[in-house]
């Protein structure tokens, strides 16, 4: 019975925590552009609270708080912030101003207010909230359970519209001195005509009337150079350009008026910013807005790791970043309102899995784009690639694309989603894409290059390289001298599937016939003298085309010699993903040392620690459901605290130096 009560209590506590997090996420408006969620409880737990306290203490945060009159005892738990809930950040834009808000839960209002002792006195604002003005353009509001920091930034383009600027009393000014040679009789005659027509110019009361410029005065200049040790100075005729002078007070008055108007404009902008900021704060506190939709709230919170960045509408965000309303875009007839990407929402997660740190991202696709993308990535890597990932492999890159589907679908995809960028040539370009789609034989091209590729770096090798140097005789005449030097370089092989190799074989044979290369034991060899920094070798074997900078590696492959034992981790990574790339960090220090590359004294300790690391990988499973997924992961040295704890240890070590 007691166990049932205990389980029920734990479930209620868990539910209460979830409800609190959901309550805070409801404070985010539906038109938020970018949202960030911070799983504070997980961050503190995995970072280790004691280490966080030590880090903040060494960073001087606690000392600064004590100077302001707050006594927190070097413990983040005494800040009054609830470390068991989720905190949020988001931004929202209007045509005139951008708002940022950071929302974080409070556990003790009294403790939190002590942190604000030096900032100012709190004032009641609305619905039980108190407010404290922070730096210009920002305000902090809080109640017993939540604190909200809101800031505003004016749009740089909002007041460029003349009607908008006039509405708010902003005058556009430009300080520019007239050109010295701007005087001409034609302008004088035109001015005389205007004067004779008695054109009246009205001046505002109190405004300084600018006197017209007087004609430029020509002043003769006499050279003041002293001629010494010369028996007779030959008189020279020098054309001296007449110096054109303006009344300096005229420029002073221009600059003064320019500065005065700019100060007036800035004061208007700042007043509007503060007014709109308080209007936004009042709107948020009174909840007179539509909150984030339930589905978006779920996407923000579901399976939340350490930190999540969420973009509800990727296409709208992308369109907002494009300067499509500028004159060049309008002149070219580009209509960005018709531009589509097919992207829906976007998500980026920071996760910790033991000693592995992951950055995982995904983008939602509309139905048509998702179906097309599934066809593009409907290909697996060639099984023969596996044998070339060995214990000597430093790193690799593999990508698998269905070439046939790509050639078939890309023309229609381009016409559908990017037609807005084509301007007045839209019909012509779409016709060209249709013609290209008809002309291409996708099946034939797919036989030549189906779309699976592997680039692998397998160890190092010394290469002898020729270069040109110069020797000089006693008269400094240069003579070319051919020299050789040994360089240790990574050995790479690029390979791809090709079931129809006739095109490649014909091209290689033609290059040999033209003396650009030669054939050695069935391997095409191209010297570094032919415009290449290193020699290049090509092998056609079975259904693979292989390109490498090392002939010995290709000879071993041609004779079916194995280069080493299989790298099971790399093979598994390649098999499970449509795209994958990885580098074994443990091998990097030895490789750089063998190559003679010195990372520098400041990086010596870091490079030495790489021996304890695992692999860093970039992977993508392609399309999962209607989402395109990708991930970056790094295996850090194994510790009790995990990846975040290890990183804090490194920061503390650097601070302690």
pLDDT of residue 144: 93
Pairing of strands 343-353, 536-541: unpaired
- Tell me the DSSP string of 325-388: TSHHHHHTT--GGG----EEEEEEEEEEETTEEEEEEEEEE-HHHHHHHHHHT-----GGGGGG
Strand partners, 126: 129
Higher pLDDT, 260 or 332: 260
Please tell me the distance from the alpha carbon of residue 35 to that of residue 138, in angstroms, as a whole number: 19
How many CA atoms, within 13 angstroms, populate the side-chain half-sphere of residue 532? 13
Please tell me the distance from the alpha carbon of residue 362 to that of residue 304, in angstroms, as a whole number: 14
Instruction: Note whether 308 and 300 are within 8 A (CB).
Output: yes
Radius of gyration in angstroms for the set of CA atoms belonging to the chain, rounded to a whole number: 36
Which residue in the block uniquely carries the two structure tokens 């413990």?
A: 75
Residue 95 has pLDDT above 70, yes or no: yes
Instruction: Note whether 27 and 291 are within 8 A (CB).
Output: yes
Residue 211 has pLDDT above 60, yes or no: no
Which tens digit of pLDDT belongs to each residue from 531-574?
Answer: 556 789 999 998 999 999 999 999 999 998 877 899 999 999 99
Q: State how far the alpha carbon of 113 is from the alpha carbons of 67, 77, 624, in Å.
A: 15, 14, 47
Average pLDDT of the segment spanning 75-79: 89
Higher pLDDT, 426 or 236: 426
Examine residue 595 and state whether it is found in any structural domain, yes or no: no
pLDDT of residue 195: 39
Examine residue 178 and state whether it is found in any structural domain, yes or no: no
pLDDT of residue 580: 97
Please tell me the distance from the alpha carbon of residue 300 to that of residue 27, in angstroms, as a whole number: 13
Task: Specify the DSSP element, H or E, that contains 84.
Answer: none
Average pLDDT of the segment spanning 208-234: 42
Residue 389 has pLDDT above 50, yes or no: yes
- % residues pLDDT > 70 (the chain): 76
The confidence band for 624, taking pLDDT boundaries of 50, 70 and 90, is very high
Examine residue 471 and state whether it is found in any structural domain, yes or no: no
- % residues pLDDT > 90 (the chain): 41
Residue 160 has pLDDT above 80, yes or no: yes
Instruction: Note whether 422 and 429 are within 8 A (CB).
Output: yes
In a 3-state reduction of DSSP, which class is residue 533? coil
Instruction: Name residues whose C-beta falls within 8 Å of residue 152's C-beta, 6 or more positions apart in sequence.
Output: 97, 98, 99, 100, 137, 138, 273, 276, 277, 280
Instruction: Name residues whose C-beta falls within 8 Å of residue 68's C-beta, 6 or more positions apart in sequence.
Output: 115, 117, 118
Examine residue 344 and state whether it is found in any structural domain, yes or no: no
Average pLDDT of the segment spanning 321-340: 56
Higher pLDDT, 208 or 576: 576
What is the phi/psi pair of residue 155, to 5°?
-70, 135
- Tell me the DSSP string of 424-467: GGHHHHHHHHHHHHHH--HHHHHHH--SEEEEEEEEEEEEEEEE
**Predicted TM-score (pTM) of this structure:** 0.78
pLDDT of residue 119: 79
Residue 394 has pLDDT above 80, yes or no: yes
Examine residue 399 and state whether it is found in any structural domain, yes or no: no
Residue 475 has pLDDT above 50, yes or no: yes
Instruction: Name residues whose C-beta falls within 8 Å of residue 17's C-beta, 6 or more positions apart in sequence.
Output: 41, 84, 85
Average pLDDT of the segment spanning 436-464: 81
Examine residue 650 and state whether it is found in any structural domain, yes or no: no
pLDDT of residue 220: 44
Higher pLDDT, 602 or 654: 654
Closest residue by Cα to residue 284 from 78, 140, 180: 140
Q: In terms of residues, how long is the chain? A: 657
Which tens digit of pLDDT belongs to each residue from 489-502?
Answer: 889 999 999 999 99
Residue 482 has pLDDT above 60, yes or no: yes
Domain count, the chain: 1
User: Which domain, by its residues, includes 102?
Assistant: 21-45+65-158+271-290
Closest residue by Cα to residue 466 from 528, 552, 536: 528
Which residue in the block uniquely carries the two structure tokens 């060209």?
A: 432
Closest residue by Cα to residue 125 from 143, 99, 108: 143
Residue 629 has pLDDT above 80, yes or no: yes
Instruction: Name residues whose C-beta falls within 8 Å of residue 414's C-beta, 6 or more positions apart in sequence.
Output: 433
CATH number, domain containing residue 112 = 3.40.1000
Instruction: Note whether 93 and 313 are within 8 A (CB).
Output: no
Closest residue by Cα to residue 523 from 494, 499, 500, 556: 556
Residue 648 has pLDDT above 80, yes or no: yes
Examine residue 382 and state whether it is found in any structural domain, yes or no: no
Please tell me the distance from the alpha carbon of residue 614 to that of residue 502, in angstroms, as a whole number: 42
Nearest-5° Cα angle at 377, 372 to 382: 155
Average pLDDT of the segment spanning 356-379: 93
DSSP state of 77: G
Residue 219 has pLDDT above 70, yes or no: no
pLDDT of residue 434: 60
Closest residue by Cα to residue 614 from 591, 572, 644, 584: 584
The confidence band for 447, taking pLDDT boundaries of 50, 70 and 90, is confident
Instruction: Name residues whose C-beta falls within 8 Å of residue 540's C-beta, 6 or more positions apart in sequence.
Output: 498, 501, 504, 505, 508, 546
pLDDT of residue 91: 96
The confidence band for 438, taking pLDDT boundaries of 50, 70 and 90, is low
Examine residue 509 and state whether it is found in any structural domain, yes or no: no
pLDDT of residue 421: 59
pLDDT of residue 439: 56
Q: State how far the alpha carbon of 541 is from the alpha carbons of 506, 551, 641, in Å.
A: 15, 14, 49
Please tell me the distance from the alpha carbon of residue 109 to that of residue 184, in angstroms, as a whole number: 74
Q: How many CB atoms lie within 10 A of CB 29?
A: 18
pLDDT of residue 11: 40
What is the phi/psi pair of residue 635, to 5°?
-90, 115
Can you give the three-state secondary structure of 536-584, one letter per residue? EEEEEECCEEEEECCHHHHHHHHCCCCCCCECHHHHHHHHCCCEEEEEE
Residue 20 has pLDDT above 90, yes or no: no
> What spatial distance separates the first Cα and last Cα of the chain, rounded to whole Å?
56
Average pLDDT of the segment spanning 602-630: 88
């Amino acid at each position: 019975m007691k166990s049932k009560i205990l389980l029920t209590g734990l479930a209620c506590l868990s539910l209460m925590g979830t409800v609190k997090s959901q309550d805070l996420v409801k404070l985010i408006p539906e038109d938020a552009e970018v949202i960030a969620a911070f799983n504070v409880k997980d961050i503190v737990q995995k970072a280790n609270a004691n280490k966080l306290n030590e880090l903040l203490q060494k960073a001087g945060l606690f000392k600064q708080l004590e100077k302001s009159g707050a006594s927190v005892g070097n413990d983040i738990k005494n800040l009054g912030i609830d470390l068991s809930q989720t905190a949020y950040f988001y931004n929202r834009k209007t045509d005139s101003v951008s708002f940022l808000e950071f929302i974080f839960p409070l556990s003790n209002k009294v403790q939190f207010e002590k942190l604000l002792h030096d900032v100012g006195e709190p004032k009641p604002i609305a619905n039980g909230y108190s407010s404290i003005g922070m730096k210009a353009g920002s305000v902090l509001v809080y109640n017993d359970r939540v604190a909200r920091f809101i800031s505003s930034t004016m749009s740089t383009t909002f007041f460029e519209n003349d009607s908008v600027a006039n509405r708010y009393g902003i005058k556009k000014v430009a300080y520019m001195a007239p050109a010295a040679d701007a005087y001409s009789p034609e302008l004088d005659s035109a001015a005389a005509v205007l004067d004779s027509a008695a054109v009246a110019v009205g001046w505002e009361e109190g405004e300084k009337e600018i006197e017209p410029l007087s004609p430029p005065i020509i002043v003769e200049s006499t050279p003041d150079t002293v001629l010494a040790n010369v028996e007779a100075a030959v008189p020279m005729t020098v054309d001296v350009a007449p110096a054109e002078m303006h009344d300096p007070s005229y420029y002073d008055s221009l600059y003064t008026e320019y500065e005065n108007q700019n100060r007036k404009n800035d004061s208007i902008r700042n007043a509007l910013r503060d007014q709109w900021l308080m209007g936004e704060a009042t709107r948020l506190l009174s909840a007179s807005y539509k909150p984030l939709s339930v589905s978006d709230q779920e996407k923000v919170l579901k399976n939340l790791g350490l930190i999540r960045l969420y973009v509800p509408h990727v296409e709208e965000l992308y369109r907002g970043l494009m300067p499509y309303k500028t004159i060049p875009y309008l002149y070219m007839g580009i209509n960005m309102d018709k531009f589509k990407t097919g992207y829906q929402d976007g998500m980026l997660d920071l996760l910790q899995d033991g000693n592995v740190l992951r950055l995982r991202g995904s983008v939602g696709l509309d139905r048509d784009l998702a179906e097309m993308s599934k066809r593009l990535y409907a290909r697996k890597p060639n099984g023969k690639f596996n044998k070339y990932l060995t214990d000597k492999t430093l790193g690799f890159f593999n990508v698998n694309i269905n070439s046939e589907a790509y050639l078939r679908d890309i023309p229609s995809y381009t016409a559908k989603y990017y037609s807005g960028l084509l301007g007045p040539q839209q019909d012509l370009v779409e016709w060209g894409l249709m013609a290209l789609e008809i002309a291409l034989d996708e099946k034939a091209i797919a036989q030549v290059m189906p779309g699976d590729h592997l680039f692998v770096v397998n160890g190092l090798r010394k290469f002898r390289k020729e270069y040109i140097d110069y020797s000089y005789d006693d008269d400094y005449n240069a003579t070319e001298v051919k020299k050789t030097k040994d360089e240790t370089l990574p050995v790479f092989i690029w390979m791809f599937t090709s079931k129809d190799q006739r095109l490649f074989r014909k091209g290689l044979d033609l290059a040999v016939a033209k003396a650009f290369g030669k054939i050695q034991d069935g391997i095409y060899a191209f010297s570094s003298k032919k415009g290449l920094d290193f020699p290049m070798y090509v092998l056609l074997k079975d259904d693979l085309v292989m390109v490498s900078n090392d002939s010995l590696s290709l000879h071993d492959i041609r004779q079916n010699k194995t280069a080493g034992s299989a790298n099971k981790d790399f093979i598994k990574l390649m098999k499970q993903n449509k795209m994958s790339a990885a580098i074994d960090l443990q091998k990097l220090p030895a490789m750089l040392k063998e190559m003679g590359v010195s990372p520098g004294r400041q990086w010596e300790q870091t490079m030495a620690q790489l021996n304890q690391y695992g692999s860093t990988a970039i992977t993508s499973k392609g399309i999962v459901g209607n989402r395109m997924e990708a991930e970056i992961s790094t295996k850090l040295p194994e510790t009790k605290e995990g990846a975040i704890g290890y990183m804090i240890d490194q920061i503390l070590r650097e601070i302690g130096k």
